[in-house]
Structure 1
Amino acid sequence: MPEPTLYERYLELKKQGVHQRDAVARLGVSEGELVAAFPETQYLGGNCADFLTELEVLGEVKSAVRNVAALSEKTGIYRNLELSPMMGTAINLGGLDLRLFMRHWKHIFAVRNGEARAFHFYDAAGKAIQKVHLTEAAAIPVWERLCAAYRTDAAPVFETPPEAAPYENVELTDDALAAYREEWKGLKNVHHFRIVLSQFGIDRLQGLEYAPEGDAQKLKCEAVEFIFRQCAARGMTLLVFVNNSGIVQIQTGQVHHVDRADGWLTVSDFAEEKFNFFLDDTKLAELWFVRRPGSNGIVHSIEAYDDRRNLVLQLFGRPADAEAESEAWRALIAAVRQTYGL
């Protein structure tokens, strides 16, 4: 009797109620490898930059971006896209607002599941970067045209990801620590923080540990739910950043419906904001309050990390280029620090 195919093994797990993300781990393959094995999947090659420029004509799509802890689903139009070999942006405040790290985008798949159609993007190891789901039947001919234009008979080749090097703590000398804190205080743009980190050879979490007095504080992870519920109760605007190695998806809008479902923190705001958010906060290893200088004054934010020291979620009270944070946001942050500070 022949060995079952990867797809057949997946179907057996699916019958048992195992979700696709969990099935990948149990099957010992990447998500990209599994999706490539689906009978209705078409491989569209690796020219992701050109392909992304085609997506605006699909009209409204649902963009799904996830990492080990969080899933952000935002419906909008893939417009205002600007790409360079390394970076990309689709700046649409309140809409489909994206920052792209193009060196990680390697594979495109057209995926069909019954009447549903989507394009999936994966990195070299088959890890999902973004999934773009059609929301309008009128876009199906465009989907089919793109499939025909980009389809290739070549089989996708996925790389085995290198084992993550064990974390090594970097001890800064007194002089280096003083210099680092001066660089922190002299920041003009929060996006320059990563440049400062690289100058001192430290990762983002260690950068918070070395922050100037009062500019970073470790928090209990339960603070995330408190923030979402308080924003909903007060009608506050919240910026929700969800990222993985290839993309950051940014939601800007009010929070309306916060709940718990199957252990996950959920925000079900499609009707008001075309946005849904899901957080498995048991996967959060560390949560931090951060205060840094920005282009228009001091910026207060919340940052969440997984157990591999990866940034998985950021929360802000205003866009980086806005005039000033609201007093309501600063008051909420003060309450969070007092109640959940460690």
Structure 2
Amino acid sequence: MNQISPEKLREMKRDATVRPYDLAQQLGLPEAALVEADLGHGVTRIDATPGRLIPAVTRLGEVMALTRNRSCVIEKIGTYNDFHDGDHAAMTLDPEIDMRLFPRYWVYAYAVEVERENGTARSVQVFDAAGDAIHKVHLRPESDLAAWEALKAELAAEDQEPAQEFAPRAPLEAARIAEDKVETLRAEWARMTDTHQFNTLVRRLKMNRLGATRAVGEPWARPLAVEAVQVLFDRLQAEGHQIMLFVGNAGCIEIHSGRVETLKPMGPWLNVLDDRFNLHLRADHVAEVWLVEKPTKRGNAVSVETFDAEGQLIFQCFGMRPEKGGDAESWSRLVSELPVPETV
């Protein structure tokens, strides 16, 4: 890791015209190193354990929840209600802040205060062992500042010295297919009764999501054209479909349930700018798009799934379940009409 003094990093952050994520990329540093440069200067290292952190965040009231991967950022406004803890997986089940958390990736966390022209910006920022962002919570004018002070006091770590080194990033895994198990994959895929069985099946067969999607073939998975993403969002906006949109990384998945109302493309970015939901997608990162079906007890779950050139999942989009207000027939019609790749 590049060795730049905290003083120098603070200066670079003050002068930067790009977001911290982009500055960290430019400097060849993990983003958490930029945060750590301000320890004692508006930043407090706090306990990252979701079982302690999320209840404290709940007490903040209305906030903005942000989760990102390399190609997509999702932002939802709401409150962290209905938290369920767990050693391997935890979740919040609020209609607006709907998340799945994987605690082993929640390694570093900070309470961050930054003075700006319009006042103090406050956030909780969580990172993995490599210093890459897992999840962020941004306070809003309506947030409870007494609860913020309590969070800082109750969760402050004893050690407030900058980390000497962050762990190396785990290598990216391209599509992995076990050719000798493809027929088993197809047979067991057809017998699924719940979408949550997918990950267990894929791991057991020594594959990964993209590998299994490529291998299983029709009727369970078929490729779509990259242009299908823009068509999908255009039609979601125009036709008012109720959807569930999943965006995440190894440590956190954030879910938007509802409509897509305001599209604002800007350069390579496809942006959704709704009142309480924003999405920022680097459309030029999309390398593969798949229409995927998984059998469940309530009927087939149909999703559009996008991957980047390194085989990493960018987002998944499902039609909302009928009992939640969705229309399975109109969703099936929409996805069946999305463009497919041209044959060579």
Per the normalisation by structure 2, the TM-score is 0.89
- Distance of aligned partners of 1:166 and 1:252 in 2 relative to their CA distance in 1, 3 Å threshold: closer
1:153, 1:320 → 2: CA distance?
49
For residues 111 and 13 of structure 1, do their structure 2 counterparts lie closer, same or farther at Cα, with a shift above 3 Å needed?
A: closer
Contact 2:47 2:53 in 1 (8 A): no
210-219 vs 143-152, which moves further: 210-219
2:23 alignment counterpart: 23
Tell me the residue number matched to 1:187: 192
Cα displacement (A) at 1:240: 1.1
The one-letter amino acid paired with 1:21 is: Y
Q: Summarize the Cα distance change of 1:166–1:110 in structure 2 as closer, same or farther, 3 Å threshold.
A: closer
**Distance apart, 1:107 and its partner CA:** 1.4
* Structure 1 residues 229 and 148: alpha-carbon distance in aligned structure 2, compared to 1, 3 A threshold: same
User: What's the CA shift for 1:49?
Assistant: 2.2
Q: Is contact 1:296–1:321 with CA below 8 Å preserved after alignment?
A: no
Partner of 1:108: 109
Task: Quote how far apart the aligned CAs of 1:10 are.
Answer: 5.8
Q: In the TM superposition, what is the alpha-carbon distance from 1:11 to its structure 2 partner?
A: 3.7
Does 1:55 find its partner at 2:57?
yes
Q: Is the 8 A contact 2:64 2:78 kept in 1?
A: yes
Note if 1:130 corresponds to 2:135: yes
Name the SS for the 2:216 alignment partner.
coil
Offset, 1:208: 0.8
Residue 292 (structure 1) aligned with residue 297 (structure 2): no
Equivalent pair of 2:243/2:258 in contact (CA under 8 Å): yes
Q: Is the 8 A contact 1:104 1:245 kept in 2?
A: yes
- The 5-angstrom pairing of residues 32-181 of structure 1 reads 32-38=32-38, 39-93=41-95, 95-114=96-115, 115-137=120-142, 139-154=144-159, 155=161, 157=163, 158-162=165-169, 164=171, 167=174, 169-173=176-180, 176-181=181-186
> Aligned match of 2:251 in 235, 246, 251?
246
- What is the root-mean-square deviation in Å for CA atoms of aligned residues? 2.3
- Structure 2 gaps of 5+ residues are none
Aligned to 2:264: 259
TM-superposed CA distance for 1:341, in Å, is 3.7
Percent identity between the aligned chains? 27
1:34 counterpart SS class: helix
> How far off is 1:59 after superposition?
0.8
Unaligned runs of 5+ in 1: none
Deviations 1:43-99 (A, max 9, x none): 113434212122211111100101101000001110100011111011123x11011
Distance 1:9 1:51, change over 3 A: closer
Give, as a single letter, the amino acid of the residue that structure 1 aligns with 2:144.
Answer: A
2: distance between equivalents of 1:165 and 1:100? 20
Tell me the equivalent position of 2:206: 201
The residue type equivalent to 1:183 in the other structure is E
- What per-residue deviation string (whole Å, max 9, x for no partner) do you get for residues 123-180 of structure 1? 111111111011135511211111112223413535322551764854423xx32221
Which amino acid in the other structure matches residue 183 of structure 2? A
AA aligned opposite 1:26 = Q
CA contact (8 A) 1:190 1:294 kept: yes
Q: Partners of 1:156 and 1:31 in 2: how far apart?
A: 13
Contact 2:172 2:310 (8 Å CA) reproduced: no
Q: Which amino acid aligns with 1:187?
A: M
